[in-house]
Amino acid sequence: MLENKKIIITGIANKFSIANGIAKSMSKNGAELAFLYQNERLLKRIKPIAEELGVATLVECDVSSDDSIDEAFSEIKTKWGKVDGLVHSIGFAPTDQLEGDFTEVTTREGFKIAHDISSYSFTALAKAALPILSENAALLTLTYLGSIQSLPNYNVMGLAKASLEANTRFLAASLGKKGVRVNAISAGPIKTLAASGVKNFRSMLTEYADRAPLGRTVTTEEVGNVAAFLCSDLASGITGEITYVDAGFNTSAMSSIPKNN
């Protein structure tokens, strides 16, 4: 499905990362991959993953810095010349923003960081990649239901994801004339590093499974397969779209089997 495509993957922190599920599926489907990693500290986790998938291009890129982004893309340009796809799997808010009452805990600085790292970085990477993007290239990001519905503790990240989804539509409108598609996957909750510090995450997963039509949560492999499809030419008619990979959770208002009545 992705033969002869060169795809950049961001956001692998360890084997549990959604970006790792995406890398595995894209690799299985024939893509040649490059990994952008946040900092050197993560290298020892990423190297074995890269080796297993035969990925030779590992480049440091901290999306909070324009210089870091510029350096990373000049390295990719030298190595590859062109790029057929980019996966943005990056989200961050300071921990103090993600626990407690929204009105009380949200600060100007927390808001700024969450939007900078979780939404603007998608625009920034698209901008940096544009000179080497091939015709029919595809960009993809990862979002969450908290963008359109409130839930406890997700707080300012919900606002940042709403911005990221609008970002997806505006990038799609901007890059469509070049044949470039831009989409997002809204994934159900998965126990990754970004979820590990979250209070009551396990009980959230149970509640999700109860309400989801499939009666379970989703895996990074399932998200990865949809990512591979969206970045392939099979999805040539899809852009600006948010595709839910959540076992149907967002389509269901109540669990189907009453517990007590």
Question: Catalytic positions, please?
Answer: 144, 154
Q: Measuring CA to CA, how many Å separate 109 from each of 112, 113, 115, 122, 179?
A: 5, 6, 10, 20, 37
Q: In angstroms, rounded to a whole number, what is the distance separating the alpha carbons of residues 62 and 125?
A: 11
User: 153 contacts which partner out of ligand NAD, ligand 0WE, none, CB within 5 to 8 A by kind?
Assistant: ligand 0WE
**Part in contact with ligand NAD (CB under 6 A); list of ranges 27-35, 57-65, 132-140, 227-235:** 57-65
Window 76-115: contact mask with ligand 0WE (x via CB under 6 A): ---------------xxx-x--x-----------------
Find the shortest distance in angstroms from Cβ 160 to ligand NAD.
Answer: 9
Does residue 122 bind ligand 0WE (CB under 6 A)? no
Distance of CA 203 to the CA centre of its chain: 23
Contact 212, 249 (CB under 8 A): yes
**Part in contact with ligand 0WE (CB under 6 A); list of ranges 37-45, 123-131, 164-172, 193-201:** 193-201
Closest Cα partner for 137 from 243, 59, 20, 236? 236
Does residue 129 bind ligand NAD (CB under 6 A)? no
Q: How many CA atoms lie within 13 A of 27 on its CB side?
A: 19
Footprint of ligand NAD on 161-180 (CB under 6 A) = none
Contact 130, 76 (CB under 8 A): no
Does residue 116 bind ligand NAD (CB under 6 A)? no
Q: Which residues bind ligand 0WE (CB under 6 A)?
A: 91-93, 95, 98, 144, 153-154, 157, 189, 194-195, 197-198
